Structure 1
Amino acid sequence: MDSIGPDLEGKVAIVTGAGSRPGEGVGNGRAAAILLARAGAKLVLADAVAEWAEETRRLIEAEGGEAVVVAADVTKPEECRRIVEAATGRWGRLDALVNNVGIGGPPGTAEEVDPEAWAQGMLVNVTSMMLMAKYAVPAMRAAGGGAIVNIGSVAGLRGGHPNLLYPTSKGAVVNMTRAMAVHHAPDRIRVNCICPGMVYTPMVQRGGMSPEMREARRKRSILQVEGSGWDVGAAVAFLCSGNARWMTGAIVPVDAGATAIAALPSEMR
């Protein structure tokens, strides 16, 4: 991971949430996995729904890449261990981990949210990333270093979300990234966070998205261009590569500039 360049030939990466729901476009995890494979990495594709990850594997192998699928629940320590062992058992090393699993979680303010649903949401969005790192870090240390990329959200950087769980959990991911970067720097493991903005993915479609809502989302940025899972995946591939060898503890918004401004260009005229 020391040499400058995009090449990941001979490296091994895990992507959690590597499948993609049926629908228009591509999920962040699938896009990241495909782009890592194009850079030369071998992939462990972890997902709770094996069928979705198998499609990602098929797409990677159609381009000449190599990948294996592990159906797993990343909220369970023993299954996180099994995901890491799939990498080290087959290829003898682990160089990158992309913590991509996340859910919208329960609705409501502090007054309204169901406490049990809150605990489950924090387990999925935050604890799962800790558990994956728990088993990935020793394997990366043995390989001489590596890169961890945690997928957060612009909701973790600013207020205004209608529900409490999602921005709280994503804010935790942001600061967990900074703490992990310090903890694992002696092992030459870089830890960074990507905060996607209003990207359009199959998961977003599933939540219900009218054409009017989609257009409004597009306009909530400087560039006024709709983002996709490929935009997030490109940032993941960069942070895992030697091009980012001098980056750790970084929080990288991939949001068409939405978090860079207090008002939209049309509102400044």
Structure 2
Amino acid sequence: MLRLDNKVVLITGLGQTTDEGWGIGAAIACNLAKQGAIIFGGNRSLTSAQRTKSRIESAGGICDVQETNVTDSASVKALVDACMQRHGRIDILVNNVGKSEPGCPATLAEDVWDSQVDLNLKSVYLTCHHVLPIMEKQVTGSIVNVSSIAGLRYIGKPQVAYSATKAAIMQFTKATAVIYAGKNVRLNTVVPGLIYTPYTREMAKRYAPGGDEEEYMRKRDGQVPIGRMGNAWDVANAVLFLVADESRYITGQELVVDGGITSSTGRV
């Protein structure tokens, strides 16, 4: 079940900034590799990407990585071309890049808005722009874009650019899925809720009231009906299901991984 033997996965944002814990991209890459996939990753920091590469290879998997600026078309094309030169095909694309910056429309600087749109949304367009023709020619392919429940509802902190771009990813995916459904190329979105990762700790430094990071973490746990944040593996398992052949009749959908937040009346 859920085997991906010899399938080539192109993934962005797989870097792991520390040896402690797991980020979502690193967990996704390792999870797919564990199921037999061949990983080819693009990441802003080559050092961070190599940390994930080492984890995959130490477990017996195959992984190549390349420094990539996902907001730059030439850089994304170079990543796609390198993957094709190395493996001759791309069976799966996972877009995992994203960053949250605080601010409402009245306070958010225009350059921050633009950078959020480029990083969170344009990056998805660029990878799809370069990969979809390949998948169409192959007459097969699966794409998973990682969004956020911030694109579905307000979750207690002002991050309007992040929320807007994550909502846009879901509609981009849905519309593109319909366009490519007859070409045997599937697109779906995984929508994580509050997930505990090393990046969550970094966010606490920006958002924690009065600098109380531990209270910020306790509040996040308390927002979740299940009573705790998820972890990167909860997201990685959802991605695995959507890219596997067992989900071959699923396209244009959102798989929400949030411990019940978006089904609740809201604890913010």
TM-score category (smaller protein): over 0.9
Q: Residue type of the partner of 1:130?
A: Y
Equivalent residue number for residue 252 of structure 1? 255
Equivalent residue number for residue 208 of structure 2? none
Aligned residue for 1:37, secondary structure, equals: helix
Task: Return the TM-score normalized by structure 1.
Answer: 0.92
Gaps (5+ residues) in structure 2?
A: 206-212
Query: Does the Cα contact within 8 Å between 1:221 and 1:256 map onto a contact in 2?
Result: yes
Equivalent residue number for residue 17 of structure 2? 21
Equivalent residue number for residue 146 of structure 1? 141
Q: Residue type of the partner of 2:114?
A: A
C-alpha separation between the residues in 1 aligned to 2:252 and 2:75? Answer: 27
Residue deviations 1:224-244, cap 9 Å, x none?
Answer: 133111111111111111121
C-alpha separation between the residues in 1 aligned to 2:26 and 2:154? Answer: 28
- Is 2:200 the partner of 1:197? no
Between the two proteins, the alignment pairs up a number of residues equal to 259
Residue deviations 1:108-148, cap 9 Å, x none?
Answer: 22111111221111011001100000111122223321111
Report the CA distance between 1:91 and its aligned residue: 1.1
- Is 2:178 the partner of 1:178? no
Equivalent residue number for residue 56 of structure 2? 60
Query: Does the Cα contact within 8 Å between 1:23 and 1:202 map onto a contact in 2?
Result: no
Equivalent residue number for residue 127 of structure 1? 122
Percent same amino acid at aligned positions? 34
Aligned residue for 2:229, secondary structure, equals: coil
Deviates more, 1:238-247 or 1:22-31: 22-31
Query: Does the Cα contact within 8 Å between 1:238 and 1:244 map onto a contact in 2?
Result: yes
C-alpha separation between the residues in 2 aligned to 1:126 and 1:263? Answer: 26
Equivalent residue number for residue 267 of structure 1? none
RMSD: 1.4
Residue deviations 1:9-60, cap 9 Å, x none?
Answer: 1210011001022264211100000001011110011100001110111111
C-alpha separation between the residues in 1 aligned to 2:60 and 2:148? Answer: 32
Report the CA distance between 1:218 and its aligned residue: 1.3
2:39 maps to which of 43, 46, 50: 43
Report the CA distance between 1:7 and its aligned residue: 1.1
1:90 maps to which of 86, 103, 120: 86
Equivalent residue number for residue 228 of structure 2? 225
- Is 2:109 the partner of 1:114? yes
